[in-house]
Structure 1
Amino acid sequence: MEPNDIADEGSLPSKDRNFVTALARGLELLRAFGSGEEYLGNAELSNRTGVPRPTVSRLTYTLTQLGYLQHNTHLEKYRLGPGILALGYRYLANMGIREIARPHLQKLADATDCNVSLGSADRNDMVYLETCHGHGPLVIRLNIGSRLPIATSAIGRAWLCGLSNERCQQVLQELEAFYGSEWPRYKAGIDKSMKDYAEYGFCLSEQDWQQDISAVAMPLILENGGEVMAINCGGASLRLDHKRLVNNLGPRLKEIALNIKNELEPRHR
């Protein structure tokens, strides 16, 4: 079974009097819906989150009334409602970086027949906020909202490289707890990417995330480190050998990151 990032009852910081446990539990229910899973029942939601079933029943009722869930009376199960979509669109609409980044990402995607994306961290994953596709037959067809693990993806490892040392160590500790006994294998890949970043100025993931996929990525450090995102360029490993990643795609990605940062900074002055 793959590890999941749903918090259980014991992981909620209940001793913090400013922490609203009921709100946290409701948000955990919304996070429990995975990609490709349209409907979940109260029992499934309880099992995934560790929230007691009677509490789940009250939360799903409330979330349905607010439009964040929809109830199928025939199945006696729930799916995400339009309220979630509205929140997502508002978040993306307020991110000026997408408007600036997209032309640069698309230009590289067209030139390389790769998938070129901008991502931000969410728990143990990177989430694509913008993604552009090339036109070749061997292109990764990932879209906005796609999630890639921080530990094995180039974009995740690049994001780690952009963090302050203190924040990076904190995230590594969280990942170690998440992966448990498998952590040494993941840590070895992260260490290698950090060495690559020190040598080249960008990170590599060669068949680490998926056997047939390779990618290069680098952090996008904004607001003097106050905001760290990452961009990547990836495709079929048959096309993207080590030499092409290091000598071609990596330097081009570095140039794009610099251009995005230079265009964005005047907006923050």
Structure 2
Amino acid sequence: MSIPDITDSANYVKSVLKAFAILEQLDSAGEMSIGELSSRLSMNKATVHRLVSTLKHAGYVNQNQDTKKYSNGMKLLTLGNRVAERAGIRRVARPYLEELAKLTGETVNLGIKAGDRIIYIDKIESKSTIKVGLDIGTSIPMHCTGLGKAYLSFMPEEEVEELINNTIFERFTEHSIVDKDTLRTSLLEIRERGYSIDDEEYVIGLICFGAPIFDYHGNPIAAVSVSCPKYRVESKHQKIYADYILGTASKISRQMGYSL
């Protein structure tokens, strides 16, 4: 195991690469001492000790109190599980997204949280001549989208508050929520009924219905939505779309290990 060569050092932090090299070495070799890591990685002992101490403090490395050697911590496993879940969600969700698209005839979206934004990771576009939707890979604020609000509503309260208090609420349309208390009230309503509505909050003329997807712990890991031109959705259709979206989210959640 070695540290990658850096041709453009201005764009990289060498200490971060060294820390990852340590984690990869521990992953392949199990418990190792500072001296063993230093020798294996051709790295100064003082540097190894400083980096390992930092990783230990952050919870990514454990120290055996008997041997004084180091190994990777459970925090890495937790992160790995989350990445695996998110990578797998698109494959698992796809047939259910296709089913939802057939039921509604509208554009169906799948998104995951990234900081204070939601990223669209999959989409099935409506076959209608007039259609709406955002491209896969698009990232937009959570407070003004069906996907984002559905996800946000079921996050732990302290995480929601942290996000709300650290977010600058951008106004995209006259219907965008830009007040913290208004958003809190909206999130409570969404949590009670189980699904979100984005009624022209991000794009004028666009309405979206969203619902969260849960993992086996009952935590939101993604969200699914139906997007369509508002003129195509009469009030009587809203409940139908809501039932469809809740059913789809429930099916995907069960596939991800969630049970009520």
Shift of 1:108: 1.2
Residue matched to 1:248: 240
Distance 2:171 2:226 in 1: 30
Q: Which amino acid aligns with 2:223?
A: A
2:256 counterpart SS class: helix
Query: In structure 2, what is the Cα distance between the partners aligned to 1:213 and 1:181?
Result: 15
Match for residue 112 of structure 2? 120
Deviation at 1:171, TM superposition (A): 1.1
Pairwise CA distance, 1:110: 2.4
Cα distance, 1:93–1:227 mapped onto 2, change above 3 Å: closer
Give the aligned partner of residue 194 of structure 1. Answer: 187
Residue 179 (structure 1) aligned with residue 172 (structure 2): no
8 Å CA contact retained: 1:196, 1:204: no
Which blocks of at least 5 consecutive residues in structure 2 are unaligned? 1-10, 17-82
Q: Is the 8 A contact 2:213 2:224 kept in 1?
A: yes
Deviation at 1:22, TM superposition (A): 5.4
Q: 1:152 to 1:184 in 2, by over 3 A?
A: closer
Q: What displacement does 1:169 show?
A: 1.0
Distance 2:147 2:171 in 1: 24
Q: SS where residue 138 of structure 1 aligns?
A: coil
Deviation, 1:239, is: 1.0
Change (3 A) 1:232 1:23: farther
Encode CA deviations 1:147-175: one digit per residue, 9 max, x unaligned: 23211111111111120111111111121
What is the TM-score normalised by the length of structure 2? 0.60
Distance verdict in 2 for CA 1:241–1:148, change over 3 Å: farther
Write the deviation string for residues 161-198 of structure 1: whole angstroms up to 9, x where unpaired: 120111111111121xx338999734365335324324
- Quote the residue 2:159 is aligned against: 167
Match of 1:264 in 2: 256
User: Which residue of the other structure, out of 104, 125, 132, is the alignment partner of 1:140?
Assistant: 132
Counterparts of 1:119 and 1:250, CA distance in 2 = 17
Cross-structure match for 2:215: 222
What is the aligned partner in structure 1 of residue 226 from structure 2? 233
Question: Distance in 1 between the 2:208 and 2:199 partners?
Answer: 6
Q: Secondary structure at the match of 1:223?
A: coil
- Same amino acid, percent of matched pairs: 19
Match for residue 103 of structure 1? 95
RMSD: 3.2
Structure with max Cα Rg: 2
d(CA) in 2 for partners of 1:226 and 1:195? 16
Structure 1 residues without counterparts, runs of 5 or longer:
1-20, 27-90
CA contact (8 A) 2:111 2:121 kept: yes
Q: 1:164 is aligned with what amino acid? A: P
Supply the distance in 2 between the matched residues of 1:115 and 1:194 (Cα, whole angstroms): 24
Q: Which amino acid counterpart does residue 160 of structure 1 have in structure 2? A: L
